A and B are shown apart, each in its own frame.
Chain A
């Protein structure tokens, strides 16, 4: 294995996994709010038990293939309103 460059590389071994994010949605299924439970149930309709994003380790290829679902999962932390379109519109404004 090639030696890592401390000026460029991330020095630790890594494993891409969405398990902790999916765990968040799992907890949402028990949320007191019926609306949030309903959203979580909808999320799991798209990500069944055998879905590649639930794997112990997700490949970069799989993450690219299922990017829309990752976007959906990420609404847990990044609201849709601050997503790409809104941010791009904001950042392209002149100073």
Chain B
């Protein structure tokens, strides 16, 4: 639920800052427009991972935020912008380029009605696993050692032990 000062949402897994959502929500919206009005792509789940500190112990936690748009309808508020095949290809090659998207699909041409659902899923364990796996197995293993030390205090020892056992 949106907090009284509109700066963040309170969810079952903690607070999510509005500032972390703006770009992602807009990109998801463009994706729905392309799907609805231009038949581009198939329905995809829009999700991204945010990092926050657990207020109880100060450890880093990761949540995957998925944006569900099944109760959103888009209404054209003017003429539908024409997109050429080249435009669609350019957008397909640069799906996160907001400047490109807003130039081809002016935002004032569309209104979003309804509401979207944000699902916050705790992915702390898998994120840590991927992080350590990248360091242990990645090509820059030695260069990353300093960041291992800087983050080591944030990660609980049980998890570290499990991961190292998996790679010994």
- A contact residues vs B (CB 8 Å cutoff): 5-21, 60, 64, 67, 74, 77-78, 83-84, 87-88, 90-92, 94-95
Docked CA distance A12–B113 (Å):
10
Known: A6-B26, A60-B2. Contact between A77 and B117, CB under 8 A? yes
B79 at the interface (CB under 8 A from A): no
B29 at the interface (CB under 8 A from A): yes
- B contact residues vs A (CB 8 Å cutoff): 1-2, 12-14, 18-19, 22-23, 25-26, 29, 56, 68, 70-73, 77, 98, 102, 107-108, 110-115, 117, 122, 124-125, 128, 156, 158-159
Residues of A within 8 A of B22 (CB): 5-10
CB distance from A63 to the nearest CB of B (A): 9
Which of A11, A14, A90 is the one whose CB lies under 8 Å from B113? A14
CB distance from B58 to the nearest CB of A (A): 13
Q: Interface on chain B toward A: helix, strand, loop, or mixed SS?
A: mixed
* New contact pairs (10) apart from A9-B22, A10-B26, A10-B29, CB-CB < 8 Å: A8-B19, A9-B26, A10-B22, A12-B26, A19-B113, A20-B114, A21-B71, A78-B117, A94-B156, A95-B124
Q: In the complex the two chains form, is B111's CB within 8 Å of A12's CB?
A: yes
CB distance from B10 to the nearest CB of A (A): 10
CB distance from B163 to the nearest CB of A (A): 12
